[in-house]
Structure 1
Amino acid sequence: MATPVLDKPAQDATASHLITITLRVRRFLPEVSDEVTWEDFALEIDPKERVLDALHKVKWEMDGTLTFRRSCAHGICGSDAMRINGRNRLACKTLIKDINPEKPITVEPIKGLAVLKDLVVDMEPFFQAYRDVMPFLVTKGNEPTRERLQSAEDRERFDDTTKCILCAACTSSCPVFWNDGQYFGPAAIVNAHRFIFDSRDEAGEQRLEILNDKDGVWRCRTTFNCTDACPRGIEVTKAIAEVKKALITRRY
């Protein structure tokens, strides 16, 4: 079967939707140089497309050395978190038309984590903090023979913090984390909150003691950067405040 070909009027109509943008990308190629540079790419794109689409266009058609992470491309995996025009965002959820395409669109890696190449950072310190808060259900005794029941009210207590996709947008927007990578960071505290306030869990005291450390919740300065950066709309600062309150009152 012959491949269908758009007629000229249809092609012209499609092209009329395209705009020319400048994608300004922070480059770091350790195999070439230790210096960081900025590189501009001019490309035509539909303004309703996403920054991730623009990055794909650069990598596939202009410069195959451009390096970044992405997976699902639908705001669920969290792997394509980066700084776009100075704000932490997911590239797959950021539309070109929403970030003033008349000016250069700057794209750089998230802050506070070592850059490995271009937009890729070393996520190991972030995930180590996540592991340190024991992000799993802890119970005592024998394995139950039926599911652990929970009321809707009990579930609602920690529902917001179950939405975390571990993109690191919140943690890497925190000025305390920028200055001291030892701080657990908002994402780790959010994931501790998810289990501390779960009525089925029995390790709340242990997690609270972990977060009572000098690098724990008391390092938070309540700047709300983390809440503003969260692509899932989690009230991160509120969750951190609830953990602080639980530490003081020992009620949760």
Structure 2
Amino acid sequence: MSSATLEKNSSALADAESSAAHLVTVTFRIRRFNPEISDQAIWEDFQFQIDPKERVLDALHKIKWDLDGTLTFRRSCAHGICGSDAMRINGRNRLACKTLIKDINPHKPITVEPIKGLTVLKDLVVDMEPFFQAYRDVMPFLITTGNEPTRERQQSAEDRKRFDDTTKCILCAACTSSCPVFWNDGQYFGPAAIVGAHRFIFDSRDEGGEQRLEILNDRDGVWRCRTTFNCTEACPRGIEITKAIQEVKRALITRRF
């Protein structure tokens, strides 16, 4: 073997050892549920090595690809945009793709379970239909009258700023499934639906504000909010959800928006 080859192999070995030195042994404690096997959920531990700078989603991929292919969870973009991988990590609603392992103490078991308040279908996957139905019920689209415009509807920067915060919602359900009212009564519209309504109620181009306010004036609407701020803390996009809900309440009282 030539000296060049030996040098190349030594360099590769050194790189591998350097990389391994950064790994930590973690224990992921995952709440498993498979209705085809049992109607009871169980906790299952998985122990493996991983770079602490990796994300929880990377760890779940490692478990599924290398340890247990039956593990079931949702994910798509893996960059905090699609919102499909919301789950409870160490007791808090988070996006698995935005949560670094080093930020949740890898030296203790990391618990992962499905978000609360929605029916669990399998492992970390919940039935999102009730959540999306509440969102559809508030008519999350522009409502206008008159003839179809021949050019775009223009809006001032100041008018756009009025509802800018609530345009950031990615429908991950982290806010709604962190709400104690929603846990106890699935009929409550929930924070995400109210945020969706807020985005159009305060849009100067929209003419459906009164309709949406009447929808949210229902007994399962905004008045069910108890202002616990759970939703605001859970939002991975940093939306001031509790503030938006209060603004909708104020609009209902004053009819000014």
TM-score, with length taken from structure 2: 0.96
Quote the offset at 1:147 in angstroms. 1.0
SS at match of 2:215: helix
Structure 1 segment 100-179 matched on structure 2, within 5 A? 100-179=105-184
Q: Which residue of 1 aligns with 2:74?
A: 69
Distance 2:142 2:185 in 1: 29
Amino acid across the alignment from 1:175: P
How many residues align structurally? 249
For structure 1, the 5+ residue unaligned runs are: none
Secondary structure in structure 2 of the residue aligned to 1:7 = helix
Partner of 1:56: 61
1:240 to 230, 233, 245: 245
CA displacement, residues 76-113 of structure 1 (integer Å, 9 cap, x when unaligned): 00000000000000000000000011100000000000
Q: Which amino acid aligns with 1:185?
A: G
1:13-39 deviations in whole A, cap 9, x for unaligned? Answer: 010010000000000011111111000
> Structure 2: 5+ residue runs without aligned partners?
1-7
Letter in 2 for 1:123: M
- How far apart, in 1, do the equivalents of 2:35 and 2:71 lie? 12
Percent identity over the alignment? 84
Equivalent residue letter for 2:139: M
Shift of 1:66: 0.2
Whole-Å Cα distance in 1 between the matches of residues 132 and 189 of structure 2? Answer: 10
The Cα of 1:8 is off from its aligned counterpart by: 1.0
Matches of 1:230 and 1:120 in 2, distance apart? 19
Once the two structures are superposed, residues 174-216 of structure 1 have per-residue CA deviations (whole angstroms, 9 ceiling, x without a partner) of 0000000000000000000000000000000000000000000
Hey, what's the Cα distance between the residues in 2 that align with 1:214 and 1:160? 26
- How far is 1:149 from its partner? 1.0
| Poorly superposed stretches of 4+, deviation over 6 Å | none
The DSSP-based 3-state class of the residue aligned with 1:194 is helix
Give the letter aligned to residue 228 of structure 1: E
- C-alpha separation between the residues in 2 aligned to 1:169 and 1:11? 38
In structure 2, C-alpha distance between the alignment counterparts of 1:233 and 1:120, rounded to whole Å = 24
Question: 1:41-52, aligned counterparts within 5 Å?
Answer: 41-52=46-57
Give 1:223's match in structure 2, choosing from 222, 228, 243. Answer: 228
Query: How many Å apart are 1:70 and its aligned residue?
Result: 0.1
Counterpart CA distance in 2 for 1:143 and 1:124 is 32
Report which of the two structures shows the higher radius of gyration computed on alpha carbons.
2
Deviations 1:25-79 (A, max 9, x none): 0000111111110000001000000000000000000000000000000000000
Comparing 195-204 with 29-38, which one deviates more in the overlay?
29-38
- Aligned AA (2:14): P
Pairwise CA RMSD of aligned residues? 0.9
Which one-letter code corresponds to 1:152 in the other structure? A
* Structure 2 partner of 1:38: 43
- In 1: Cα distance, 2:120 partner to 2:132 partner: 15
Distance (whole Å) between structure 1 residues aligned to residue 109 and residue 248 of structure 2: 41
Q: TM-score, normalised by structure 1?
A: 0.98
Residue 91 in structure 1 maps to residue 129 in structure 2: no
1:11 lines up with 2:8 in the alignment: no
Q: What displacement does 1:11 show?
A: 0.6
Partner residue in 2 for 1:79: 84
Query: Could you tell me how far apart the structure 2 residues matched to 1:53 and 1:153 are?
Result: 41
CA distance in 1, matches of 2:161, 2:66: 47
**CA drift at 1:7:** 1.7
